Every structure is written in C-alpha cells, then in structure tokens.
Structure 1
Amino acid sequence: MKFPVLARARWVHLAAGVALLMAAASAAQAHNVWLLPSSTVLSKAEWITVDAAVSNDLFFFNHVPLGLDNLVVTAPDGSTLAPENAHKGRLRSVFDLNLTQPGTYRLAVLNGGLMATYKDKAGQPKRWRGTPDKFAAEVPADAQDLKVTQSAGRVETYVTVGKPSAVKASGKGLELVPVTHPNDLAQGEKATFAFHVDGKPAAGVEVVVVAGSSRYRDKLGEIKAKTDAQGQFSITWPAAGMYWVDADVKDDKTSVPQAKERRLSYVGTLEVLP
C-alpha cells in the first residue's frame, strides 16, 4: 500500500537525516519516520521505553531503524537527559529514559545536511549527500550544473510526569509550538498548535495528521489543516490513540552560500486519550 501524501514528505525527512538513514535511502519516498514512547503521561517518576523507526505503516517497525546519533532529550528544567540502554536493531532503534523530574520532556531527533547534484569533468551526472563541513572537500570546485539544497528536520514527541510544564521552542528550523499542551489531548476535544520557522509564526503551512495503526485501514484517513496568519491550526480529535503529525516548508534562507533552497521538515507523535 502506498500513501501519496506521506510519500512526498518522506524524501525530505530521510534526506535531512543522511547520516542517520543511509540504509533507507533507496526507499526514502515510501516510508515514514517516528518516535513512539511507551507512555506519554505519567503520574509519578518512572522509566519509559521509546521505539524509533522508519516504517511502511505508522508505528509498526517493518522497514529499518531510525538512527539515534542526533537524539536530544530536553528535561523540564532545560537540561539534557542522556538516554540509557540504547540499541539499534534490524527494524527499530530503542532507548530507555529515567524520568525523575516532574513536568514535560521533549524528545527529538534533529537532522541536517546538504544534497547536491552536478556533472563531473566527463559530463557524467553525480549526486552527493553530506554535511556542510565536508562539502568543499567532496564536491569538485569545478562541478558543472551544480544544484545544492540544504535540509533540516525534526522528529519528536513529548512525555509529561505529573503536572505539565511549558514547552520552550528552540527558535531553529520548523517547530511545533503548542497552544494546547501536547500531553493534554482528548478524544472529541479541539487542540490548537502553531508552526514557527526560525522562531517566527509560519503562515500557510500545510499540515497532515494521521492516526496510527494504518496497516489495519483501507484508507489512510488523513486530517489536513493549514496554518493561519499567526501560524496556528486546530484539530478536533476523532478518536483516542497515537497520531502522526507532518509538515514541510521550503524557503531560500540557507546558511550555506552554495545552497539556494532550504527544506525544513517536522514529524511529531502525539497521544490522544479517551
């Protein structure tokens, strides 16, 4: 089963995480990336386990693992929490977190890189993917028809222990900025969020929301929205369960002179309770 809307976004997410997902590059357009915590709301300090994968179906690990090299876990007080028992298997990565502070934790895999196409001296087409610091050394200075795209992506989820706390945006790239707290979502209720680019509200961003367990449905059942002038959009949750949120933005605000286009991507996992 192929999902056209999701497929268009997957190339952005996987290309942005070149170092993480090289094993999945040949099938990038057909797969989805995600983090899935064992719990998103805890009444007291506890351990959780988080799955991380690139899959054909939402929240089923049936393709390749998501790399964790760029995983950042931000605790409620703003400090960074180190994951424990991290393991990369054939179909998924997994790690544990010991959540001792009350409040909301932000778990994110942050990707970034460059993609280039060009012709060599013999006129043969070439493709290159890598980091900005390797660009000058690996792409010939005399490359013909050079086209460079910069990309940055965020794959994230949230977990709260006890009373929810505010989620502070980093002001970098494409980010989901909660108006409704991401761990206070309920079936039948409306939730409002915003998307920001580099810390400023992003209008006109197309958002796709999909419920998990997609392998058991004949239709994907996408919920689509678009951000308003304040960068905000709202969703009324049709049912309880885990949801996948996807958004993508293109602009010309690159930090690498050779790159003329920047592609920003966001994927989030949210849990809606009954």
Structure 2
Amino acid sequence: MIRSLRAGLLGGALLLGLAATAAQAHSPYLLPSVFDASDRTLVTVEGAFTESFFTPEVVMKSDAYAVIGPDGVRTPLTPTYLRQLAIAEVVTEKPGTYRITTGQRAGRVAKAALVDGDWKFFEGGKAPADAIDMQSITTADVYVTRGAPSDAALAPTGKGLEFRPITHPSKIVTGQPAVFEALFDGKALPGLRVTLSAADDRYADAKAPPQTFTTDAKGLVAIKVERSGVYQVQARHRVASAGPGQPGQSHTYALTFESLR
C-alpha cells in the first residue's frame, strides 16, 4: 500500500511502551507535497524548523540537500530559501522509492551542560561553570514512492545519527508496528530516546503531547500509530569533544512519514 498526503489529518499516536514528554523546541522536518508519487513526475518538498507540526517557522538551510533515487544514486538538490522554509523540487520519473534528505547540517556552537542527566543549552552568560561548547548537527529525511516500493534508497549512509527503516516507510499501516533501527556512524544505538509528534495538532480538541520511547539492546524501536496521519519521529544523540579545542556534538535526526489504513 502506497501513501498520498491527506491534508487535515489529525492524530494522536499510541506507541509500544511509551510515555509522554515535553516537545523539543524548533524541531526539524521535511514535508513532501505527496508521499505517493505514482501519478507524479515531480514532488515539491519543504524544509523548516517548527514548534508545531507541520507549520514552518524557521528556514532550514543546508549545503547537503540531496535525493537518493531508486537506483541508490545520490543527486544534490538546490533548494529555494524563503524566510520560514526551504523549497526543493524532486524529479520522480523513475518507479521506486526516493529518499529526500538535508544531509548533515552543521549548526551553531553553544554552551551546554548536563542538568539532571540531560544536556541543556544556555544562552549568553547563563551557562554554569562546567558547561562545554556543543555544536548542533541536524539531518532530516523523508521517503516518497512512485509505483511499487524499492529498497536501494533506504540504505544507511554510515555517518552520524540516522534511522534504517526495517519496515519500509511506504508500507507503514495504521494499527500495525513500524520498526526502525537507530544507528550512529553505522553502529546500532541502544537506549536512545525517541519522540514522535503528529501533524495538525492545532486543530485537535486537545493537543496531544509528543510520545517518547527507547530503542532496545539492538537499537530497534517499534511504533504503532492508531490514527492515520502524518508524523515526525525524532531523536538526539550527544557525543563528547574529539579533542582539545573541538566542541562536542549534538546530533538530531528527524524522519517524516505517513500512516494510512
């Protein structure tokens, strides 16, 4: 079953073994005009940061925007940057699955410190004495498919934080588990906290908070959404400085997907 974007879908999500958590400010996302490109030879994708999915607030710039085609070949994209979002056009003439990605996007360096077991960022002179320099590294992905799904575009890059889909993103079905493997530099990442947010929550009677869950010992996580809609799944992984004078890194990975019955 292949998916096409349906505007106005509301959703909460039930995840296996999850608990509610506060939303992360200004989360990244990529959102295509359609997920099912069966009748399209061109798909438009927007990229932005937001606090309410999927309303763009801050443009997401990157020098590494690209599309990985059904043949596994990576082709650079040149987006148009507006003040609140980036727009890229992706040619989808060949059948199969396409992975649109921002690539690894290096952000600003800020002061960060461990507070109650979690990293917190500080502005200006508010940082505690034990704060260190931390650089943000952001990657956002989304998959679209024309015709039958294919697997070449799903192959991990082996660099930074990313999700390898065990369940094909174009085969996610409402009410059935979708499984992903969290990787860092190509290795499974157990114990990673992941959040999932639903689209268009501003239209819901009660805004549902994001859900959180954790990858298992093999880096795997299973997600089951009970309402059809568009979702963003996100994780962050921090690594220490590689050496004197080098900042630590805060890696964020975000994947947008659609679930239909």
CA distance in 1, matches of 2:83, 2:137: 25
Greater fraction helix: 1
Partner of 1:233: 221
Which sections of structure 2, spanning at least 5 residues, go unmatched? 1-19, 112-122
Tell me, yes or no, if structure 1 residue 245 matches structure 2 residue 230: no
Q: Residues 206 and 146 of structure 1: is their aligned pair in 2 closer, same or farther, counting only changes over 3 Å?
A: closer
Distance 1:200 1:250 in 2: 15
Instruction: Kindly indicate whether the alpha-carbon contact (under 8 Å) linking 1:159 and 1:183 is maintained by their aligned counterparts in 2.
Output: yes
Larger Rg: 1
Which one-letter code corresponds to 2:66 in the other structure? V
Secondary structure of the 1:183 match is: helix
- Which aligned pairs between 1:1-274 and structure 2 lie closer than 5 A? 5-7=22-24, 30-43=25-38, 46-61=41-56, 63-83=57-77, 86-109=79-102, 110-113=104-107, 115=109, 147-166=132-151, 167-217=154-204, 218-252=206-240, 254-255=241-242, 257-259=244-246, 261-274=248-261
C-alpha distance in 1 between matches for 2:81 and 2:145: 25
With over 3 angstroms needed to count, the CA separation of the structure-2 counterparts of 1:64 and 1:112, relative to structure 1, is closer
Amino acid at match of 1:71: Y
| Number of residue equivalences | 224
In the alignment, the residues of structure 2 paired with residue 81 and residue 99 of structure 1 have an alpha-carbon distance, to the nearest angstrom, of 12
What's the CA shift for 1:6? 2.4
Query: Aligned equivalents of 1:162 and 1:250: distance in 2?
Result: 38
The answer on whether the counterparts of 1:150 and 1:256 sit within 8 Å (CA) in structure 2 is no
Question: Deviation of residue 241 (structure 1)?
Answer: 0.9
Task: State the Cα distance separating 1:45 from its structure 2 match.
Answer: 5.3
Structure 1: which 5+ residue stretches go unaligned? Answer: 8-29, 118-124, 128-144
Taking structure 1 as the reference length, the TM-score comes to 0.73
> Partner of 1:100: helix, strand, or coil?
coil
Q: In structure 2, what is the Cα distance between the partners aligned to 1:151 and 1:38?
A: 28
Superposed CA RMSD: 2.6
Q: Which runs of 4+ in 1 moved over 4 A?
A: 254-257
> TM-score w.r.t. structure 2 length?
0.76
TM-superposition CA deviations, 1:156-192 (whole Å, max 9, x none): 1111122212210001111101110111111111111
CA–CA separation in structure 1 for the residues paired with 2:100 and 2:74? 10
Q: Please give the alpha-carbon distance, in whole angstroms, between the structure 1 residues aligned to 2:166 and 2:75.
A: 25
Letter of the 1:239 counterpart? R
Q: 2:134 is matched by which residue type in structure 1?
A: T
Counterpart of 1:24 in structure 2 is: none
SS of residue matched to 1:5: coil
Match of 2:8 in 1: none
